[in-house]
């Protein structure tokens, strides 16, 4: 019965996608799928946390309690070698894991009720050492940052099977480490670690990329990741070699030069912004803490205050309401935090065993209308 319902749901979503206007593109509010929430109330059925484990070469799935934020293990499934990033499409029913050392992307189907993952093949990125995978809302296509090839793969998603094909590649800077959309999902930014810059692209209607500008982050800065404020006007880049966070404005999809820099901890690889846009979190691998900054009305930062974490933190993510956060690191545990909505401070409220070397966390939502 569950398989029948699942097939009917996929067919319904495909029908809706086909009814969207021909000119529909990412971020276009006239699209049929994007306008559905205006017609129906959206009910969250379940929330799951996906944890990619670098040295365990697998993915763990946990159910998130909507009442307490605590995690319950659902299952574990094999990934490729040294998984580094997790992305999802079609309301999180299809999940993708980029694997740095096996040069491929693991494809999974996730049961919307239990959260149990099922293998769905893989896509080879020959010699690419993919570091990050990014899937837009709607899940028609996606992108992979290929560290060793200095380019981005343009990926097409089969909306019925969830399987990927690589349609083309687009050159980026040297060693693209992180990729992120702006708030409209019509612009994409590639953070290039070894060329110390950010490539700014516009996203075409068919999922292609067009380079608008390349913006320096400063010699020897080692940019690792970037996050964008929900208002779309400001961006924050982790300069991991310098132990700093830089602030930039965004105009017409192009990043400005740095407006200001702020000291964080040592080797601040990952950076996350609270769903409210009020706080920025620098995850400091070397100093084993998280630096919490408050976002001012002009996009600049104040702070930080620092919260000690288990050794060598890597992955960090909020559930969509911003009430709880989850941090992973080298101790094979995931820490659950409650988040103070006024100060952004983190309080550890639980720990959960994870796979070895948990490095990347992603939250998936399953919903109905």
- Per-domain residue ranges for the chain? 2-18+31-368
Helices and strands: H and E segment counts in the chain: 2, 29
Q: Is the pLDDT of residue 40 over 60?
A: no
The arrangement of strands across the sheet holding 130-134 comes to: 130-134, 141-146, 151-157, 164-171
pLDDT the model gives residue 90: 60
Question: How confident is the prediction for the chain on average, in pLDDT?
Answer: 86
How many CB atoms sit inside 10 A of residue 369's CB?
10
The angle formed by the CA atoms of residues 215, 217 and 219, to the nearest 5 degrees, is: 120
What burial class does residue 49 get, using C-beta atoms within 10 Å of its C-beta: 0-12 exposed, 13-18 middle, 19+ buried?
Answer: buried
pLDDT the model gives residue 206: 85
Strand ranges (E), 193-332: 197-203, 209-216, 223-228, 234-239, 244-251, 254-255, 260-263, 268-273, 279-284, 289-295, 301-308, 313-318, 324-329
Rounded CA separation 317/322 (Å): 9
pLDDT the model gives residue 13: 44
Reported as a single tens digit per residue, the pLDDT across 215-254 is: 999 999 999 999 999 999 999 999 999 999 999 999 999 9
Q: Does domain 2-18+31-368 have CATH number 1.10.3720.10?
A: no
What burial class does residue 195 get, using C-beta atoms within 10 Å of its C-beta: 0-12 exposed, 13-18 middle, 19+ buried?
Answer: middle
Reported as a single tens digit per residue, the pLDDT across 311-336 is: 899 889 999 899 999 998 767 889 99
Reported as a single tens digit per residue, the pLDDT across 77-131 is: 999 999 999 988 767 789 999 999 999 999 999 998 888 999 999 999 988 999 9
Q: How far is CA 230 from the centre of its chain?
A: 14
Comparison of pLDDT for 314 and 299, the residue scoring more:
299
Reported as a single tens digit per residue, the pLDDT across 54-72 is: 888 999 999 999 899 999 9
Lowest average pLDDT, out of 15-24, 97-106, 195-204, goes to 15-24
């Amino acid at each position: 019965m569950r398989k029948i319902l699942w097939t009917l749901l996929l067919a319904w979503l495909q029908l809706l996608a086909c009814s969207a206007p021909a000119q529909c593109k990412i971020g276009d509010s006239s699209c049929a799928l994007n306008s559905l929430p205006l017609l129906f109330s959206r009910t969250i059925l379940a929330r799951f946390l996906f944890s990619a484990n670098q040295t365990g070469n697998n993915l763990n799935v946990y159910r998130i309690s909507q009442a307490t934020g605590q995690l319950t293990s659902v299952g574990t499934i094999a990934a490729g070698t040294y998984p580094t990033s997790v992305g999802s499409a079609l309301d999180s029913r299809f999940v993708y894991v980029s694997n740095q050392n096996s040069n491929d992307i693991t494809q999974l189907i996730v049961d919307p009720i239990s959260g149990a993952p099922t293998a769905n093949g893989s896509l080879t990125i020959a010699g690419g050492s993919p570091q990050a995978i990014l899937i837009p809302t709607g899940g028609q296509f996606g992108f992979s940052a290929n560290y060793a090839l200095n380019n981005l793969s343009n990926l097409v998603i089969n909306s019925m099977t969830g399987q990927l094909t690589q349609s083309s590649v687009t050159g980026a800077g040297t060693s693209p480490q992180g990729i992120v959309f702006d708030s409209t999902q019509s612009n994409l930014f590639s953070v290039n670690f070894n060329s110390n810059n950010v490539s700014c692209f516009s996203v075409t209607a068919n999922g292609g990329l067009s380079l608008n500008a390349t913006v320096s982050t400063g010699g020897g800065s080692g940019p690792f990741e970037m996050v964008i404020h929900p208002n779309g006007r400001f961006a924050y880049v982790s300069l991991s070699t310098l132990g700093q966070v830089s602030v930039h404005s965004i105009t017409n999809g192009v990043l400005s030069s740095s407006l200001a820099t702020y000291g964080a901890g040592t080797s601040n690889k990952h950076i996350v912004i609270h769903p409210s846009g009020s706080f920025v979190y620098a995850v400091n691998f070397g100093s084993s803490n998280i630096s919490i900054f408050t976002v001012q009305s002009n996009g600049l930062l104040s702070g930080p205050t620092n919260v000690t974490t288990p050794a060598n933190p890597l992955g960090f993510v909020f559930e969509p309401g911003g009430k709880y956060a989850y941090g992973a690191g080298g101790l094979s545990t995931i820490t659950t935090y409650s988040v103070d909505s006024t100060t952004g401070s983190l309080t550890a409220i639980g720990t959960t065993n994870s796979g070895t070397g948990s490095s990347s966390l992603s939250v998936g939502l399953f919903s109905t209308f």
